[in-house]
Structures are given as structure tokens and as C-alpha cells.
Copies of this chain bind each other. A is one copy, B any other.
Amino acid sequence: MPLDRSIIASLPLFEGLSPAELDGVLKDARAARFPKESTIFEQEAEVRSFFVLLAGHVRVVRATPDGRQVIARYISEGEIFGIAAALGRLTYPATAIAAVDCVVLVWPNAVWPDLAARFPVLSAGTFKTVGSRLQDAQARVVELATEHVEQRVANALLRLANQTGRKTEAGIEIDFPIWRQDIAEMTGTTLHTVSRLLSAWEERGIVVSGRQRVTVTDAHRLVLLAQHRSKD
């Protein structure tokens, strides 16, 4: 049963493609559902597919040889991911895990060259995506090298709020379950320190947080904390 083109027509990645072209893109795709906390692909595994996230949130994690792990990024709806093949890799550089129940489109690896050649929009869009992830990664390098834990955690929360925030009456809530350990793994610190920071911020009315839930209530002051320079 072919997939309906309407499910991807509105995604920026496929912008400008005609209905017939959309069908062509979808011909080789299949939809898949991944329950919360299930693995979509695993680090070091052979690259077989690439993906577009239709619904949900995906956590991308890199593990170190000694068992520690770092969250490389969260994927939001509409994003392409697992494009290791296009970058000339044979194995995935990280593990992707559904942070909530997810729906994804899956293409077999082998169709990429053909798709990229037939749809320059797609190729250019992917180029841009990779470029912006490179920017991201290098910005994080700078952050880790120069900023203190407090600023890094503030920045991480702001990025999450921007990227996936849902407005509530209390403020901007991060709309997937996230626990202290996650935030620690995004910022290169420990859950203890994250907990202390969130507690302190909650006391000052900047955030409201609880079990697997964080709401930013005063983004402005959080920005100030994020920019706070140690030396001036």
C-alpha cells in the first residue's frame, strides 16, 4: 500500500516538489512506528537506511568506549536523520532512540544516490542540514571549552525550549520527558549539578521543574545566566 504524499508535502525538505515527484520520493519509503525508548539505529551498526521523523522526538546519543554517553542532539518532526550513508560512512556514528512514541519514514540506503540525483532540492537541503549540524557541533565545542556548567545548562534549556518548546500558561514547557541525567549528558556535567542548578533557578522563579518535566518560566533571565561571563 503506497504512502500518501500528503504526509510529506508540507515538510521543508520536500518543498517545491510536484505531486508526482512526491510520489516518486515515497515509492521506496516505508513508514514505521517506534515505541518510546526503543532503538531506531545503533552506533557502529552497518548503515542500511536513512530516516525522516514524522511524529515524535528522537534522541541521538554517542557512547564512549568506557560506557559514558553524550547526547549529540534531539531530532524534531520533519527532520532527516541517520544520513551517514550520504556522508560516506559505513556505520552509524551514534545511536538513535525514540524519546516518545515516534513515526518515521524509512528509505533503504541504496536509493540515496538516485534520489539525490533526481531531486536537487533534496540534495541541497541535506547539504544545508549537515552544514547546520556542523555549525551546531562546533558551537558546542566552543561552549564546552570556554563556558561554565551553569551557562552550558542554561543554553541547553534555551535550545530545547526553542526547538521543541510548547507554550503553557506557566511558560515554555519542553514537550517530551527529559530527566536530569539527560540534561547532564547534553552539557557534559552530572545529574547532581543539574539538579542543584534547577533547584536554585526554581527558587528564583526562572524555571519550574519536576519529574521528567522542565518548564522555562522566565526565558529572559535564563538568557542572562547563559551569557554571564566569568571574567569581564
Contacts and interface: CB of A to CB of B under 8 A. Distances in A.
Contact of A93 (B65, B72, B135): B135
Interface of A: 62, 64-66, 68, 70, 72, 86-89, 93-94, 124, 127-128, 130-135, 137-138, 140-142, 144-146, 185, 187-188, 227, 229, 231-232
Contacts of A188: 144-146
Contacts of A68: 146
Please list the 7 inter-chain residue pairs (A to B) with the smallest Cβ-Cβ separation, ordered nearest first: A87-B131, A145-B188, A137-B137, A144-B144, A88-B128, A70-B142, A134-B134
B142 A64 contact: yes
A142 B146 CA distance: 15
Of A66, A134, A231, chain B has the most CB atoms within 10 Å of the CB of A134
A64 B232 CA distance: 13
A157 B214 CA distance: 40
12 contacts: A66-B231, A70-B145, A89-B131, A93-B135, A94-B138, A130-B130, A130-B131, A130-B134, A134-B134, A134-B137, A141-B141, A145-B185
A134 to B, nearest CB: 5
Contacts of A88: 124, 127-128, 131-132
Contacts of A137: 134, 137-138, 140-141
Contacts of A134: 87, 130, 133-134, 137
A23 to B, nearest CB: 26
Contacts of A124: 88
A185 B142 CA distance: 10
Contacts of A66: 229, 231-232
Nearest to A227: B65
Given A66-B231, A130-B134, A144-B188, 6 more contacts: A87-B135, A88-B128, A88-B132, A93-B138, A137-B141, A145-B188
Given A137-B141, A140-B141, A141-B140, A64 B146 contact: yes
Contact of A127 (B62, B86, B93, B227): B86
A62 B142 contact: yes
Nearest to A84: B131
